[in-house]
């Protein structure tokens, strides 16, 4: 079974224009590790060289920020949706 990674418009170009990607169930870390092999440009826009989520990116599993759960070790179950939310600034 799979889960869904939902991408914001700003990152879709790095995913070949796709708004969503299927990801394997497991941890957020393992999903991003697999993404590094298939879509390295997208993965590098989400994580830095040490594998940490970039400061301007938030990841939500459903309505919960993964930082309020177990961070990158948060389990992603089949059928769930993992949202990539970039920071917005301006005035």
Q: Domains of the chain: which residue ranges? A: 2-86
Q: What are phi and psi of 47, to 5 degrees?
A: -120, 155
Give the length of the chain: 91
- Architecture of domain 2-86 in CATH? Roll (3.10)
pLDDT in tens, 60-78: 999 999 999 999 999 999 9
Contact call for residues 27 and 56 (beta carbons, < 8 A): no
pLDDT in tens, 10-64: 999 999 999 999 999 999 999 999 999 999 999 999 999 999 999 999 999 999 9
Q: How is residue 53 annotated by DSSP?
A: B
Helix (H) or strand (E) holding 36: helix 28-38
Whole-number pLDDT of residue 89: 73
């Amino acid at each position: 079974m799979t889960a869904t990674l939902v991408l914001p418009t700003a990152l879709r170009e790095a995913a070949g224009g796709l708004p969503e990607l299927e990801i394997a169930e497991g941890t957020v870390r393992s999903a991003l590790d697999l993404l590094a092999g298939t879509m390295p440009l997208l993965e590098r826009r989400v994580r830095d060289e040490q594998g940490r989520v970039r400061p301007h990116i938030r990841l939500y599993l459903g309505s919960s920020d993964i930082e309020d759960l177990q961070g990158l070790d948060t389990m992603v179950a089949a059928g769930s949706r993992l949202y990539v939310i970039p920071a917005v600034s301006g005035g």
